[in-house]
Structure 1
Amino acid sequence: MSEPTRPRATGDALHVPVLLEECIELLEPALSGSCPVLIDGTLGMGGHTSAFLERFENLTVIGIDRDPAAIALASERLAGFGERFRAVQGTYDQIDSVAKKFGHGGGEPGTVDAVLMDLGVSSLQLDEQERGFSYSHDAPLDMRMDTGGGQTAADILAGADAKELTRILSHYGEERFASRIARRIVSEREHQPITRTKQLADLVKDSIPAATRRTGGNPAKRTFQALRIAVNDELSVLERAVPRAVSAIRVGGRIAVESYQSLEDKIVKREFAAGATSTTPPGLPVELPGHEPYLRLLTRGAVKAHPEEAAMNPRSASVRLRAAERLRREGNRP
């Protein structure tokens, strides 16, 4: 594995936790025991984790992140908390095995008291220009959260045919001009490889109608989102992670998930709704034992950032926060 990229700066200047107080308020009732355990499934630079450790003096946080640079920075930042913080490099769909190793939620081995997940690309990855996540700076088209292996965005652009590129851009980026952009990529790469973020951003801009470019922000935003999701297999990982996270919390434990685009939010909403719905067949006069809901929704719909927070922290503008409480052990899905 390659050495992690060292960030050029540290501390809160690089990361303002989104909806921090709302997350704390939603998870606090599950963290009132003598030695509670929280899994931060998306550690990043440790902004949320640091705040929870400061607020709850007996809390232990297990932070998961696939990015070795994030693990290195967060571990350095949180070293003062000693054994109350532990970092695990991996994807958050491994959350159930992490809970089995470290958890003792409410005295129940193999479970934790709460789970927090702050999805999407982190501020660290956006700010480290050479990672290639941002269309605002010229850099190699990498986009891997774990730079230790796997294909890059440039690899996808070089190898996928127009049909596959259209699928990626349409499904993961919800890009309505996906086929036009895909055809342009295939045409352009016949003359020169597409290996730089500026190349791709300019190509996207030239592929869509001029009238469309005047609204909605940078026209390359959806294309970059789609490639990042494809490179890191984010939606498949999330589809595995949410039910495993629910299974990992004790009865009375809580989970909170922050999503930043509709595909993520749909997965979280679907899993939470399934857990909050009785599986007793319709028409029966009583609810069958073992078919009761195993989750209680803690938010009415999704919580959004207040205009003041969105103005101060642009990343919060698209956030959707959902939370749920575990009601019983039975009924969880693997």
Structure 2
Amino acid sequence: MQSESGHISVLLNESVDALAIKPDGIYVDCTFGRGGHSRKILNQLNENGRLFAIDQDPAAVAWAKQHFSDSNFELIQGNFRYLNDYMEQRGLVGQVDGVLLDLGVSSPQLDEAERGFSFLRDGPLDMRMNPEVGISAAEWLQTTKKEDIAFVLKEYGEERFARLIASAIVMDRETKPFTRTSDLSGLLERIIKKKEPGKHPATRTFQAIRIEVNGELDAAKEALEAAVNVLKNGGRISVISFHSLEDRIVKRFFNTESKAKPVPKGLPITDEQLSKDIRLKTVGKAIKPSAQEVEDNKRSRSSVLRIAERVNR
């Protein structure tokens, strides 16, 4: 389903249905984007229901102000890692019925060359989800040590040529800084000789740098913890991830929170006491997009949806 912006929300029906919407419930869409998920949630709420949406991107905030005037909708400009603070300020910790997290970069960000996310479009090498905060990808590449660049490319991009790429970046930046996306993608096309079928040689490097510049993995971990904290008993969390690093974090978090904490052997603790440590129960298996959705929206092909429910509050 396309939003008014033309953006197609990934796993739209599945992720919103997973929240088991109550017409008078309280929900949080942690990644507003262009409002596809938010609109579907709002359509199921009555006048007593409430939806809070979060986005750090000024362009997304401007879009929301133009296209969303619902009285039971509130947009919060900020990073979803501070979800607990936002709900605490509104006196809603422990009262939220559902939280939706759509991780990764949005299509509008990829499509706008000026944002610097895409290796297919020439633009300033920025990559910040909020261009007003932190340092750009260009600044990061210019000031970071070779060893640290290699580490980021290997850890966040799973790039097997991480050391080769880091060495080339450090060598080239001495005479010409990387200021455009085409500067970096051109280097990668030139030095990576063994191409992965169906994958541009810049894919892994651009992903890794974007994750580092935005602190995405740490933000996701903090947002997951916050979501569990703000949910009421029986509240649902619905999380869409787009690459293996994100999905691994979500899967491990859900698994950890659905099991009792380990205790020293022989300690006299009852099963009832142990079960109180459990904060989540997973709902169903991981969901992937249908063949039809992948055909309609190629960017959905790597997406995975995981669902869990708050217990023992």
- Structure 2 residue 78 is matched with structure 1 residue 90: yes
Q: 2 CA distance for matches of 1:214 and 1:168?
A: 20
Partner letter of residue 58 of structure 2?
A: P
Q: 1 CA distance for matches of 2:222 and 2:3?
A: 31
Q: 1 CA distance for matches of 2:95 and 2:204?
A: 37
Q: 1 CA distance for matches of 2:191 and 2:22?
A: 54
Tell me the CA shift for residue 101 of structure 1.
Answer: 3.0
Deviations 1:202-240 (A, max 9, x none): 10111212xx22514111011111111111111111121
Matching residue of 2:29: 40
Deviations 1:137-174 (A, max 9, x none): 11010011111131000001111121011011111111
Aligned length: 308
Secondary structure (helix, strand or coil) at the match of 1:213 reads coil
Q: 2 CA distance for matches of 1:303 and 1:214?
A: 26
Matching residue of 1:181: 165
Q: Describe how 1:98-177 pairs up with structure 2 within 5 A.
A: 98-102=86-90, 104=92, 110-177=94-161
Tell me the CA shift for residue 11 of structure 1.
Answer: 4.4
Matching residue of 2:15: 23
Q: 2 CA distance for matches of 1:138 and 1:299?
A: 42
Matching residue of 1:259: 241
Alignment check: 8 A CA contact 1:140 1:195 kept: yes
Q: 2 CA distance for matches of 1:13 and 1:72?
A: 12
Q: 1 CA distance for matches of 2:100 and 2:211?
A: 20
- 1:71 maps to which of 54, 61, 64: 61
Larger mean Cα displacement after TM superposition, 109-118 or 182-191: 109-118
Q: 2 CA distance for matches of 1:252 and 1:246?
A: 11
Partner letter of residue 225 of structure 1?
A: Q
Partner letter of residue 14 of structure 2?
A: E
> What TM-score does the superposition give when structure 2 sets the normalisation length?
0.93
Tell me the CA shift for residue 285 of structure 1.
Answer: 9.1
Q: 2 CA distance for matches of 1:123 and 1:61?
A: 22
Secondary structure (helix, strand or coil) at the match of 1:27 reads coil
- 2:204 maps to which of 207, 222, 225: 222
Listed as ranges, the gaps of 5+ residues in structure 1 are: 1-9, 330-334
Secondary structure (helix, strand or coil) at the match of 2:33 reads coil
Matching residue of 2:258: 276
Alignment check: 8 A CA contact 1:100 1:110 kept: no
Deviations 1:51-85 (A, max 9, x none): 11113334321011111111110222212x2x211
Alignment check: 8 A CA contact 2:195 2:201 kept: yes
Alignment check: 8 A CA contact 2:152 2:212 kept: yes
Alignment check: 8 A CA contact 1:114 1:249 kept: yes
Matching residue of 1:4: none
Partner letter of residue 279 of structure 1?
A: K
Matching residue of 1:5: none
Matching residue of 2:40: 51
Matching residue of 1:246: 228
Alignment check: 8 A CA contact 1:14 1:124 kept: no
Alignment check: 8 A CA contact 2:116 2:124 kept: yes
Alignment check: 8 A CA contact 2:228 2:279 kept: no
Please list every run of at least 4 consecutive aligned residues from structure 1 whose deviation after the TM superposition is greater than 4 angstroms. 280-286
- 2:181 maps to which of 186, 194, 197: 197
Listed as ranges, the gaps of 5+ residues in structure 2 are: none
- Alignment root-mean-square deviation, CA: 1.9
Q: 1 CA distance for matches of 2:269 and 2:220?
A: 36
Alignment check: 8 A CA contact 2:94 2:229 kept: no
Q: 1 CA distance for matches of 2:231 and 2:196?
A: 46
> What TM-score does the superposition give when structure 1 sets the normalisation length?
0.87
Secondary structure (helix, strand or coil) at the match of 1:303 reads coil
Alignment check: 8 A CA contact 1:65 1:89 kept: yes
Q: 1 CA distance for matches of 2:307 and 2:130?
A: 28
Alignment check: 8 A CA contact 1:71 1:89 kept: yes
Matching residue of 1:3: none
